[in-house]
């Protein structure tokens, strides 16, 4: 055994499986549903988010592991050595315990909703008069739209769409027993209010209750609502070659194929007999451990509609006032545009605390500006009503060169991306689709201007997508700069994309897959050379790249102090004596989805600070086109550093990862309550008050802003 192998085996004690780590993350999401500081309907939404997260996890990760077990039996997790089958067994066991906890939280939340005047009712909760009323509604407006089926030798078991709600029944007639199905119509509203807008039942519960009317003259013996989760881990590369004339059409074919992939999970609402469960599971080729029974509706997405549907007097008791991002005044005081402002000083927008509108307005102005020669941008996930995309179309119509790198393979957003790609192409934009085998996940926009015969650049680099909708709920950073060095790297980056060059070298950017990981490792080495004076703070969504994890462990062993803010998957275990005792890991789960990625090496004026589109996972560092961009402006560095310090002090929404792999929620002490997200929202409001009053940089309001940050950076 070599020393290197011995060291790697030693380090395995400091790592955990990524799938189990992800399930722990989703467990933290679920715990937000019982956080007393959240309003009742917000808590129900967190259960819904937990469920949709779990759906996607089964579609992608469980689907992938299922494929590994069948087609790559020798596959082992490179951090824990677990086989695919072992990982799946642990996932199923962990999922079962999560369902139990979800049921408990769901019962508590619906009870709290009732105390505030909103009633989610089951059919047995209705009084006789209400029962008669909904039966009339069912017979008149729902029954005619149902298409029941029975399963026998002449009626084969139909294809069950992914996550499509169905009612399953066992029926008898003349001593003959059969299985029956009813697909819940997508064309009908799932929420049926009984009186006013505060008491309601769900469509599937109604259909299940009146299944005997659907299958008359049969006798219904058992009934339940169920949903099937299918493997959706289909490669968006597929077998596409240049012979396929239309890449969009090819992706459309793959999306159709995805809907036919094998089931990986069965969810049943309400208890049923063992025979019922085993019959349905057998039809779907699923094992008992892949079948879960829960009293919670298999699809909770309806809760996002409730806020708009319920009576106004009930709504104010259910949700806090909608967070409105502050439209910070970043426009040049002499009436110029944001582009003009950026030419004088770098601008940083922090979503969702600050609005995305200034950037969107800048893009609209760029489309009309006669001095703008070209706009180049990478797009990954767009809003269905994207104002940004409309500005790109307008720019092309105005004769500007518009180059759009549209990544069609943004999972579950492929159809929307295809639609926008076609619209952009028809408008005259030049649309390209990236490189085979590498998703373009970077977030960069380059505006090239020619003014008084000179070429200049305005470059925007972000940590999140160009999506106006998610900018209201995801925490992201957006840098807008006229720095010539950054602009030159941006020009080189887009040229490399255009010619399919993955080996481009840049003076300031770190670009995956060629240089980002190498640069991260080199900077960790640099901190190791400082030994006990070494410092690192890294914020990302996931940490799973083994090579980076091993290097972080080495740095810890050399005395480097490392603070990690990792929202989701973290395969590194901190606090292991002699290995990771210089590493701390927190996860912040709050009102907004933590999404920004920030890498800081060193401290003080010598700190090297980067913002990035990349998480520290092998898929990002090795299989995607990602960018990490340096922050050079001293004021912005101070601002971002202050934000990181506040996050590290969060004692309301931060969870500490312990050496045994458990996460423990921090609780405020006697001195101070720190909720980083709420603090940022309040700080930006102070900033906006100052801007709107057009006070000088030294006025009292700005002093309050500085004090808010300095108080948490000491």
Q: Which residues are catalytic?
A: 441
Strands, E, within 407-495: which ranges? Answer: 430-432, 439-440, 444-451, 454-462, 474-481
* H/E element, 274: helix 274-283
Q: Answer yes or no: are the C-beta atoms of 619 and 64 closer than 8 Å.
A: no
Closest alpha carbon to 47 in 295, 330, 411? 295
Phi, psi at 558, each rounded to 5°: -95, 10
Q: Residues 6 or more apart from 495 whose CB is under 8 A from it?
A: 501
Three-class SS of residue 297?
A: coil
d(CA 48, CA 190): 15
Closest alpha carbon to 168 in 183, 155, 154, 158? 183
Three-class SS of residue 43?
A: helix
Q: Answer yes or no: are the C-beta atoms of 292 and 248 closer than 8 Å.
A: no
Token output for 175: 């001593």
Separate counts of helices (H) and strands (E) for the chain: 23, 27
Task: Name the residue with tokens 């009984």.
Answer: 194
d(CA 496, CA 492): 6
Closest alpha carbon to 574 in 258, 233, 582? 582
Q: Helices 3-11 & 546-557, crossing angle to 10 degrees?
A: 90
d(CA 203, CA 208): 9
d(CA 656, CA 664): 5
d(CA 315, CA 111): 16
The sign of the dihedral angle between the CA atoms of 703, 705, 708, 710 is negative
Q: Name the H helices within 511-633.
A: 516-529, 546-557, 618-623
d(CA 201, CA 193): 7
* H/E element, 539: strand 535-540
d(CA 228, CA 231): 10
Token output for 186: 């997508």
């Amino acid at each position: 055994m070599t020393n290197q192998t011995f060291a790697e085996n030693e380090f395995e004690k400091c790592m955990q499986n990524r799938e189990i780590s992800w399930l722990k993350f989703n467990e933290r999401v679920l715990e937000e549903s019982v956080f007393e500081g959240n309003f009742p309907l917000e808590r129900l939404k967190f259960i819904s988010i937990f469920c949709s997260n779990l759906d996607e996890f089964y579609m992608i990760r469980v689907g992938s592991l299922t494929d590994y077990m069948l087609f790559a039996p020798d596959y082992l997790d490179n951090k824990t050595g677990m086989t695919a089958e072992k990982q799946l067994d642990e996932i199923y066991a962990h999922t079962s315990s999560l369902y139990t906890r979800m049921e408990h939280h769901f019962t508590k939340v619906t009870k709290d909703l009732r105390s505030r005047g909103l009633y989610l009712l089951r059919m047995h909760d209705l009084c006789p008069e209400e029962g008669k009323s909904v039966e009339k509604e069912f017979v008149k407006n729902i029954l005619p739209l149902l298409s029941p089926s029975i399963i026998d030798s002449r009626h084969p078991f139909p294809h069950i769409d992914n996550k499509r709600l169905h009612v399953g029944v066992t029926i008898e007639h003349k001593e003959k027993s059969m299985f029956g199905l009813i697909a819940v119509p997508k064309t009908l509203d799932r929420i049926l209010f009984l009186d006013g807008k505060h008491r309601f039942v769900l469509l599937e519960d109604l259909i299940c209750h009146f299944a005997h009317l659907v299958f008359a003259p049969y006798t219904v013996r058992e009934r339940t609502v169920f949903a099937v989760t299918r493997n959706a881990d289909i490669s968006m590369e597929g077998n596409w070659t240049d012979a396929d004339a239309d890449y969009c059409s090819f992706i459309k074919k793959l999306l159709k194929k995805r809907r036919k992939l094998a089931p990986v999970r069965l969810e049943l609402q309400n208890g049923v007999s063992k025979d019922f469960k085993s019959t349905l599971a057998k039809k779907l080729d699923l094992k008992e451990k892949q079948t879960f029974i829960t009293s919670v509706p298999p699809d909770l997405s309806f809760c996002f509609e409730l806020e708009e549907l319920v009576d106004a007097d009930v709504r104010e008791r259910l949700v806090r006032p909608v967070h409105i991002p502050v439209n910070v005044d970043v426009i040049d005081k002499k009436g110029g545009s944001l582009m003009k402002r950026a030419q004088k000083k770098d601008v940083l927008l922090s979503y969702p605390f600050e609005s995305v509108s200034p950037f969107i307005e800048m893009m609209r102005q760029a489309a009309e500006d006669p001095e703008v020669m070209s706009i180049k941008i990478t797009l990954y996930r767009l809003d269905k009503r994207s104002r940004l995309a409309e500005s790109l179309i307008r720019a092309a119509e105005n004769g500007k060169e518009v180059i759009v790198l549209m990544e069609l393979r943004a999972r579950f957003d492929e159809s929307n991306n295809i639609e926008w790609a076609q619209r952009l192409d028809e408008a005259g934009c030049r649309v390209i689709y990236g490189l085979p085998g590498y998703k373009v996940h970077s977030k960069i926009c380059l505006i090239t201007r020619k003014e008084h015969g000179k070429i200049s650049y305005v470059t925007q680099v972000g940590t999140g997508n160009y999506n106006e909708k998610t900018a209201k709920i995801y925490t992201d950073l957006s840098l807008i700069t006229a720095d010539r060095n950054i602009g030159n790297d941006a020009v080189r980056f887009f040229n490399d994309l255009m010619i399919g060059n993955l080996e481009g070298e840049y003076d300031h950017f770190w670009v995956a897959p060629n240089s980002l990981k190498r640069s991260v490792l080199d900077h960790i080495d640099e901190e190791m050379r400082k030994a006990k004076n070494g410092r690192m703070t890294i914020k990302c969504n996931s940490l799973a790249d083994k090579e980076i994890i091993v290097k972080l462990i080495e740095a810890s062993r050399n005395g480097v102090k490392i603070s990690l803010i990792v929202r989701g998957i973290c395969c590194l275990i901190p606090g292991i004596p002699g290995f990771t005792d210089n590493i701390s890991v927190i996860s912040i789960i709050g009102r907004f989805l933590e999404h920004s990625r920030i890498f800081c090496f060193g401290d003080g004026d010598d700190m090297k600070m980067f913002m990035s589109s990349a998480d520290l996972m092998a898929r990002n560092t090795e299989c995607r086109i990602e960018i990490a961009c340096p922050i050079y402006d001293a004021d912005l560095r101070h601002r971002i550093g202050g934000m990181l310090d506040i996050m590290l002090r969060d004692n309301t929404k931060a969870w500490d990862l312990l050496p045994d792999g458990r996460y423990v929620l921090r609780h405020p002490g006697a001195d101070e309550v720190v909720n980083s997200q709420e603090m940022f929202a309040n700080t930006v409001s102070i900033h906006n008050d100052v801007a709107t009053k057009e006070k000088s940089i030294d006025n009292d309001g700005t002093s309050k802003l500085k004090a808010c940050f300095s108080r948490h950076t000491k």
